[in-house]
């Protein structure tokens, strides 16, 4: 037994030396691991998009597990038994909330009841309410809206403690990089409080990522500004792009799926009405999404006729490693390019 412990100690020392020799990332010269007891904190994130944001905050301080894989619809994703166990054993769960992960809700609630700390990021980013038609209701209200300042106010006055889980709010806040910047700060704070990882390092990494997000916002604003205002009309598979519309002055003309998720199928009448609207407005593209089959978007395009293109965007999950959308920032840039090409 004692020999075993000595062997483990020797291996740990060797491991530490290896890290010191080839690492070099520690700017303050300390070689001690961030955790006093040597155990790695378990940070589990539901969506691939928030997983990428969290990895940018955490860096190499800890491993971040993501439950919902790339190119997968988070609205109806159900966890495996192993994933449910991972969630139960987490030191911190980071979830989108606002009813995005409907299929995970029971598992999240039971983990929370077991004492796991949960950060519902959607609750702290001043989410937009859905309006009566299901689209999110921003301040701008359509095609002539200009982006708000990067440091925006909190007009709605939501308290951070308020729970937005009744389906009243649009959960797709990541299409606004300013809100993702707010989310980044909240994630850094929650990780520091619940894992014992070094708060200064987390804040520094979060700030570096926030600088990238500010750059992204500026780039998107400039790119979308090249599309004439009257052509900034989006027809998408499901109603995921309300925050993009609100921030960059688009109007959501219609969606193939009638509600905020893809849980309800459109009727033939819904599709015919949308096809007519597309014909009337001369919209040149219907945007399908990486998380779902393009079947219905294709059917809609067929109903409209040959003059409308079907173009895939990345919506509720990042894409695979060769997709050009494997990270949140890449996803936003690729979407912007495709939208600008299709509508510009
Ligand atoms: Zn969605």
Alpha-carbon span 56 to 71, nearest angstrom = 20
Q: If you measure from the C-alpha of residue 28 to the centroid of ligand 1, how many angstroms do you get, rounded to a whole number?
A: 42
For residue 252, CA distances in Å to 225, 227, 238 come to 17, 15, 10
Helices (H), 26-118: 48-58, 81-88, 105-113
Residues lying with their CB under 5 A of ligand 1, a single-atom ion: 240, 316
Q: What domains does the chain contain, in order, with CATH numbers? A: 39-126+133-148+159-214 (3.40.50.1980), 224-343 (3.40.50.1980)
Q: If you measure from the C-alpha of residue 280 to the centroid of ligand 1, how many angstroms do you get, rounded to a whole number?
A: 27
The answer to whether the Cα torsion of 107, 109, 115, 116 is positive or negative is positive
Alpha-carbon span 155 to 97, nearest angstrom = 21
For residue 80, CA distances in Å to 84, 85, 90, 113 come to 6, 9, 15, 19
Q: What pLDDT was estimated at residue 165?
A: 52
Q: If you measure from the C-alpha of residue 298 to the centroid of ligand 1, how many angstroms do you get, rounded to a whole number?
A: 19
Mean pLDDT confidence for 61-82: 97
Q: What pLDDT was estimated at residue 39?
A: 73
Q: If you measure from the C-alpha of residue 204 to the centroid of ligand 1, how many angstroms do you get, rounded to a whole number?
A: 31
Concatenating the DSSP letter of every residue in 119-179 gives: EEGGGGS-PPBB-TTSSB--SS-STT--PPPSS---TT---TT----SS-B---GGGSHHH
Express each pLDDT in 219-240 by its tens digit.
Answer: 999 999 999 999 999 999 999 9
Q: If you measure from the C-alpha of residue 207 to the centroid of ligand 1, how many angstroms do you get, rounded to a whole number?
A: 28
Alpha-carbon span 161 to 120, nearest angstrom = 10
pTM, rounded to two decimals = 0.82
For residue 162, CA distances in Å to 59, 75, 186 come to 30, 22, 15
Q: If you measure from the C-alpha of residue 262 to the centroid of ligand 1, how many angstroms do you get, rounded to a whole number?
A: 7
Q: If you measure from the C-alpha of residue 100 to the centroid of ligand 1, how many angstroms do you get, rounded to a whole number?
A: 7
Q: If you measure from the C-alpha of residue 278 to the centroid of ligand 1, how many angstroms do you get, rounded to a whole number?
A: 22
Contact call for residues 238 and 262 (beta carbons, < 8 A): yes
The answer to whether the Cα torsion of 165, 169, 174, 179 is positive or negative is negative
Q: What pLDDT was estimated at residue 16?
A: 38
pLDDT at 15 over 90: no
**Residue 322 backbone phi and psi in degrees, to 5:** -100, 15
Mean pLDDT confidence for 154-174: 64
Beta-ladder partners of 95:
120
Q: If you measure from the C-alpha of residue 113 to the centroid of ligand 1, how many angstroms do you get, rounded to a whole number?
A: 26
Mean pLDDT confidence for 168-186: 97
């Amino acid at each position: 037994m004692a020999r075993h412990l000595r062997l483990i100690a020797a291996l740990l020392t060797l491991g530490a030396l290896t890290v010191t020799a080839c690492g070099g990332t520690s700017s303050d010269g300390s070689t001690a691991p961030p955790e006093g007891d040597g155990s790695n904190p378990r940070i589990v994130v539901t969506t691939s998009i928030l997983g990428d944001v969290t990895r940018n905050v955490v860096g190499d301080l800890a491993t971040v597990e993501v439950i919902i894989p790339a190119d997968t619809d988070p609205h109806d994703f159900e966890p495996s038994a192993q994933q449910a166990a991972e969630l139960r054993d987490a030191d911190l769960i980071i979830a989108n909330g606002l009813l995005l992960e409907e299929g995970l809700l029971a598992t999240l609630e039971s983990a929370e009841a077991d004492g796991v700390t949960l950060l519902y990021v959607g609750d702290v980013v001043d989410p937009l309410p859905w309006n009566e038609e299901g689209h999110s209701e921003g301040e701008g209200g359509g095609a002539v809206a200009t982006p708000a300042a990067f440091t925006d106010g909190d007009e709605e006055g939501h308290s951070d403690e308020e729970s937005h889980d009744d389906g009243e709010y649009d959960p797709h806040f990541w299409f606004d990089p300013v809100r993702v910047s707010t989310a980044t700060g909240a994630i850094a704070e929650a990780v520091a409080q619940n894992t014992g990882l070094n708060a200064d390092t987390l804040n520094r990494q979060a700030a570096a990522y926030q600088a990238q997000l500010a750059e992204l916002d500026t780039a998107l604003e400039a790119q979308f500004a090249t599309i004439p205002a009257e052509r900034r009309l989006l027809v998408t598979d499901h109603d995921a792009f309300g925050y993009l519309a609100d921030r960059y002055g688009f109007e959501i003309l219609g969606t193939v799926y009638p509600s905020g998720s893809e849980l309800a199928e459109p009727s033939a009448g819904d599709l015919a009405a949308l096809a007519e609207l597309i014909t009337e407005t001369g919209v040149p593209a219907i945007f399908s999404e990486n998380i779902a089959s393009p079947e219905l978007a294709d059917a809609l395009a067929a109903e409209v006729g040959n003059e409308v293109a079907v173009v895939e965007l990345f919506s509720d999950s990042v894409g695979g490693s060769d997709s050009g959308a494997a990270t949140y920032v890449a996803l936003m840039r690729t979407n912007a390019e495709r939208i600008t090409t299709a509508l510009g």
